[in-house]
Chains A and B, each alone.
Chain A
């Protein structure tokens, strides 16, 4: 049913730390593995060993180069590389849900997870059109729409140890750049993290109100200019001779 719930009890989602993500793709493949074996149809691959291999993925890692604007302090700022994982942001105002003609797309009232009920999906693709983030992919083999499930079949799963009831991508991320939790609860760890690190929305102007947040990279290349640090290199000796002399004195002190 494609009417969005007026409010959801929880806002489960991911917080992704762009300051920490090393772009290793672990989350991408872990997601592929879990969701191929679990929720709904497998994520298929076409021409898997051929000339033009392509397949369904629910999470993909982009990378960008950002060149800071030159300033008097930094006339030639170095460019930065930023790895950028992207999966469904489980938007509060999810356009992908309301456009769906069959009701296959829906947002869960209890936790806000946006899902596709594959049994109802006609594969018209409209929801993917409506998603600004490219978070939905039509599986070529099954002809139904695929998207991040927030691992709904893990996070409540009683067959999994408590500690592992988190999304597959979160559990696997070697750098700990992915955090999972209730962004509706201001006291949750994720909400605190977002507050501390000025977590941001992607394409806020699209009005989708994403639940997932991104932590911006910390300022880079801002080592203080040498003069600030100069005291730490105050010479004790200019030449080896002087150095030996200094040694003698210095050794007395220990």
Chain B
């Protein structure tokens, strides 16, 4: 003790590092999994850190990622296939063999496939293998397939793709290295969890400005230099008011608009459709000749102002609409809660930075018209947005409005602005169209999901009734590009449009945080018909953990954890690309499961073969893919194109296109679990029009031929639907939907107010949720480290509302919506829009789930807002129940929720409280003192 002890300063960190892809959330960061030999000589996961070489996270790791070790060892992990023995919802199961599980599933599925494949509804939630699961569903022959995008953020994806051939979400990113002003609309966390934080870090290090538009000032919005505490649902107005100011001041990028957008394209004065030449090319007036000319004619100088016998260019229509007084800052200030001067100041700041702080990058490039440019002009204002503006009934048009704002500033794909990530940009035209033609015993006629371009593309049967159980691509929501997972259970229960036999779900906690009206959903899943049979006859579900949904299934296919299986984050799906490169990645079993569980995709390979699905059997009827790893390597989508782009071809020297390489997975593992192909320097910006990029994309297998296109400020397909509503063409909406379609399918963005339909007069307060950065939906809670951060969730209330209701921190309040009531603890927050309350999403848990004690704070103090949100709007008295979703895409309008609040006496636990479900995996241990090494 006399002198300071000498320490071992270079202890061995681990015996081996295995590099794979994180799946503590959907961001898909690269991880170094440090393995240590335990006392038993077995190599175990000891420590997880970020992979420095990885394109997504470049070494950093979020709280969830670092807590992976507690997920992989969570007591909530399912252990074996389960057969329900008690009533649905009881949680009473018996463990069975995989063979028995397959036999049961086959017993339900084979007859359906032979008679009517659409009696299977296969919906996958947080699915990172959609190109695989959809392939399986397509082979089965059901039209009823989609992932969770429909209740997630399809407005953002669809608006982006229809407008500019790419979206925010994780499909694009601000030019973090060059932007000087970053404007963030309605984002708490997003899928790009780490990249956004890294980007903000870069911006902050440069001292560049961040403007946060959000009713709540937390997280990203807390570090924003300027906070705009907007009234929820009014971003469209705010954005269009800025468009108004910018157009009036002529602070728009005319050259950009003329060259790269359909601003100069002529609109037919009769039909409102775009004028085209005989080859279907959009027509512009060429300033040199004054004649209508195809937009892509070499040397054409599109004229933004000239008209052609009464047909005006798009920009005229925009001027007429957006320069109108209704969009003057003074006239939107009250509804948006943003003072007119502040709107002006922000618009002016955008103009200042975009045009005064512009600079040139010395990059020589050639555009699709053959003109060569010696530099690229920066518009260093970047924007990003997510569910805050998309999860409203006016979300699609609001997202469109935001893209219009970016585009008139000339900032999309310009240095300092917003950049697409491969496989984007990609014009909406070259995406597949939805397919729904069912033939008993046969595969579907094509991929389920895609982009419609007119009434003829809708998923309707001959009799005009919906072909899909979720009513996607119908007149109720024509552009529902991701399907409507949130409508499946209620439609199946109602037998509207038809009854189904088997509901097959994967990775979606539909009986709890994933659903609107969770209580109602639980009831629909357990309700029986007159002969005592369940209204939804069979439910198969795959989960890895003991979630709330497990209790409601008849058959459970237990998945592995993310460190125990093969996965493929594919360019055919939602890859890990960055703006400067195409990239994909794998997961591989860095540890072997110690339980009788199996990767879900491998189980589908087995099941597919048992059912004799063509894509999953060889000619001789034998099983085609031994497991998912086998599929990843050997499946071929198109000649030369497979799930993974890297190291293709016999000797693995081809990237993008190439034959199967049996050694492919090992090459990925050697490379840290991922593959990157960098965009050539001259092709890094202006990609939609940059021949350099277009050729590279073809070579890489992203396109089959170059696909240059114009940004659609004016979205023609919408006008086609509108015309149908106006009585043109032979496919027309039913009477009760005509007006809705006509009004909403506006080819130019407009703002509509979702509040009245949600009875804002009686329920004046908006109630929101936010993603906690350290939790992933429901599954953070089973994690011993993470649940200490967010073990319960107060309802955060603005100071004004706390005062009005005589509330102080820790008090309880009754929160009532048109649909229901919850009673929950409250906490004051000053940096909050004064008519908005909020809480963290998915912290509240059902007693008995997740291997937690039944008195866990998540169950007694935690709560969900979902009990207040209904998938249908309150009745309007017109005899029709309208869905609580965007009338264009069907996106669930989570954030239109309006409530009323009053003080309540503290109940024993937050209300509603549901009875415990029996845990199929028992309960977790009391204490943890975790150490792998000796």
Q: Mark B177-209, 1 if CB is under 8 A from A, else 0.
A: 000000000000000011001101110110100
Contact of A244 among B217, B319, B932 (CB under 8 A): B319
* Interface pair B222/A81, CB less than 8 Å apart: yes
Select from chain B the residue with minimum beta-carbon distance to A161.
B52
Select from chain B the residue with minimum beta-carbon distance to A158.
B10
Judge whether A204 is part of the interface by a CB distance below 8 angstroms: no
Judge whether B346 is part of the interface by a CB distance below 8 angstroms: yes
Contact of B249 among A41, A119, A233 (CB under 8 A): A233
* Interface pair B222/A82, CB less than 8 Å apart: yes
Q: Mark B218-234, 1 if CB is under 8 A from A, else 0.
A: 11111111110100000
Contact of A218 among B62, B225, B316 (CB under 8 A): B225
* Interface pair B349/A223, CB less than 8 Å apart: yes
Chain A, 44-93, CB within 8 A of any chain B CB:
44-55, 57, 63, 65, 67, 78-83
Which of A128-136, A166-174, A180-188, A206-214 binds B? A166-174
Contacts of B927 in A (CB 8 A): 44-48, 141
Q: Mark B455-470, 1 if CB is under 8 A from A, else 0.
A: 0000000000000000
A141 vs B345: C-alpha distance in the bound complex, in angstroms? 57
* Interface pair A22/B219, CB less than 8 Å apart: yes
* Interface pair B63/A26, CB less than 8 Å apart: yes
Q: A1-B4, A65-B830 in contact; A142/B319 too (CB < 8 A)?
A: no
Contacts of B224 in A (CB 8 A): 220
* Interface pair B305/A248, CB less than 8 Å apart: yes
Select from chain A the residue with minimum beta-carbon distance to B1.
A103
A229 vs B254: C-alpha distance in the bound complex, in angstroms? 22
Shortest CB-to-CB span from B334 to chain A, Å, is 16
Contacts of B924 in A (CB 8 A): 48-50
Judge whether B819 is part of the interface by a CB distance below 8 angstroms: no
Chain A, 220-252, CB within 8 A of any chain B CB:
220-226, 229-230, 232-240, 243-244, 246-248, 250-251
* Interface pair B305/A229, CB less than 8 Å apart: no
Instruction: Give the A-B pair count, Cβ closer than 8 A.
Output: 316
A163 vs B66: C-alpha distance in the bound complex, in angstroms? 19
A153 vs B13: C-alpha distance in the bound complex, in angstroms? 9
Shortest CB-to-CB span from B674 to chain A, Å, is 18
Contacts of A79 in B (CB 8 A): 217, 830-831
* Interface pair B774/A29, CB less than 8 Å apart: yes
Interface residue count for A (Cβ, 8 Å)?
99
* Interface pair A37/B787, CB less than 8 Å apart: no
Contact of B63 among A25, A160, A236, A248 (CB under 8 A): A25
Contact of A81 among B7, B13, B218, B852 (CB under 8 A): B218
* Interface pair A23/B222, CB less than 8 Å apart: yes
Contacts of B345 in A (CB 8 A): 223-226, 229
Q: Mark B750-788, 1 if CB is under 8 A from A, else 0.
A: 000000000000000000000001100000001011111
Shortest CB-to-CB span from B254 to chain A, Å, is 6
* Interface pair A175/B4, CB less than 8 Å apart: no
* Interface pair B774/A24, CB less than 8 Å apart: yes
Q: A175-B201, A239-B323 in contact; A29/B785 too (CB < 8 A)?
A: yes
Shortest CB-to-CB span from A84 to chain B, Å, is 11
- Name, among A52, A83, A223, A230, the residue most crowded by chain B CB atoms within 10 Å (CB to CB): A223
Contacts of B198 in A (CB 8 A): 174-176
Judge whether A28 is part of the interface by a CB distance below 8 angstroms: yes
Chain A, 100-126, CB within 8 A of any chain B CB:
102-103, 106, 108-109, 115, 117, 119-120
* Interface pair A33/B69, CB less than 8 Å apart: yes
Judge whether B309 is part of the interface by a CB distance below 8 angstroms: no
Contacts of A142 in B (CB 8 A): 929
* Interface pair A251/B830, CB less than 8 Å apart: no
Contacts of A36 in B (CB 8 A): 930-931
Judge whether B902 is part of the interface by a CB distance below 8 angstroms: no
Interface SS of chain A: loop
Judge whether A159 is part of the interface by a CB distance below 8 angstroms: yes
Shortest CB-to-CB span from B431 to chain A, Å, is 32
* Interface pair B929/A141, CB less than 8 Å apart: yes
Q: A33-B69, A108-B4 in contact; A236/B248 too (CB < 8 A)?
A: yes
* Interface pair A174/B305, CB less than 8 Å apart: no
Judge whether B348 is part of the interface by a CB distance below 8 angstroms: yes
Q: A153-B11, A244-B319, A247-B305 in contact; A49/B830 too (CB < 8 A)?
A: no
* Interface pair A153/B341, CB less than 8 Å apart: no
A244 vs B250: C-alpha distance in the bound complex, in angstroms? 10
Contact of B66 among A23, A29, A217, A222 (CB under 8 A): A29
Judge whether B320 is part of the interface by a CB distance below 8 angstroms: yes
Judge whether B2 is part of the interface by a CB distance below 8 angstroms: yes
Select from chain A the residue with minimum beta-carbon distance to B798.
A79
Judge whether B347 is part of the interface by a CB distance below 8 angstroms: yes
* Interface pair B784/A80, CB less than 8 Å apart: no
Q: Mark B333-365, 1 if CB is under 8 A from A, else 0.
A: 000000001101111110110001000000000
Shortest CB-to-CB span from B930 to chain A, Å, is 5
* Interface pair B1/A1, CB less than 8 Å apart: yes
Contacts of A172 in B (CB 8 A): 49-50, 60-62, 66
Contacts of B323 in A (CB 8 A): 237-240, 243
Q: A175-B204, A244-B316 in contact; A220/B227 too (CB < 8 A)?
A: yes
Judge whether A20 is part of the interface by a CB distance below 8 angstroms: yes
* Interface pair B61/A51, CB less than 8 Å apart: no
Judge whether B47 is part of the interface by a CB distance below 8 angstroms: yes
* Interface pair A24/B63, CB less than 8 Å apart: yes
Select from chain A the residue with minimum beta-carbon distance to B196.
A174
* Interface pair A53/B250, CB less than 8 Å apart: no
Contacts of A57 in B (CB 8 A): 788
Which of B108-116, B684-692, B853-861 binds A? B853-861
Judge whether B22 is part of the interface by a CB distance below 8 angstroms: no
Judge whether B510 is part of the interface by a CB distance below 8 angstroms: no
A243 vs B293: C-alpha distance in the bound complex, in angstroms? 24
Contacts of B250 in A (CB 8 A): 236-237, 243, 246, 250
Judge whether A98 is part of the interface by a CB distance below 8 angstroms: no
* Interface pair A1/B3, CB less than 8 Å apart: yes
Judge whether A191 is part of the interface by a CB distance below 8 angstroms: no
Q: Mark B36-57, 1 if CB is under 8 A from A, else 0.
A: 1000000000111110100001
Select from chain A the residue with minimum beta-carbon distance to B194.
A174
Contacts of A22 in B (CB 8 A): 197, 200, 219-220, 222-223, 773
Q: Show the binding face of B for A, using Cβ within 8 Å.
A: 1-5, 7-13, 34, 36, 46-50, 52, 57, 59-67, 69, 75, 193-194, 197-198, 200-202, 204-205, 207, 217-227, 229, 245-251, 254-255, 258, 287, 303-305, 315-316, 319-320, 323, 341-342, 344-349, 351-352, 356, 773-774, 782, 784-789, 791, 829-831, 851-853, 855-857, 923-933
Q: Would you give 22 A-B contacts (Cβ < 8 Å), ordered by A?
A: A1-B1, A22-B197, A22-B200, A24-B62, A37-B34, A48-B784, A48-B927, A49-B784, A55-B928, A78-B217, A78-B831, A80-B831, A83-B222, A102-B1, A142-B929, A172-B66, A174-B60, A233-B348, A243-B248, A243-B250, A247-B305, A250-B250
Per CB-CB distance, the 4 closest pairs between chain A and chain B, nearest first, are: A49-B924, A174-B197, A79-B830, A229-B348
Sample of 10 more A-B contacts, CB < 8 Å, known A1-B3, A47-B853, A153-B7:
A24-B62, A42-B930, A157-B11, A157-B13, A174-B201, A222-B226, A229-B344, A229-B352, A230-B348, A237-B323
Q: Show the binding face of A for B, using Cβ within 8 Å.
A: 1, 17, 19-26, 28-30, 32-34, 36-38, 41-42, 44-55, 57, 63, 65, 67, 78-83, 102-103, 106, 108-109, 115, 117, 119-120, 141-142, 152-153, 156-160, 163-164, 168, 171-177, 217-218, 220-226, 229-230, 232-240, 243-244, 246-248, 250-251, 254
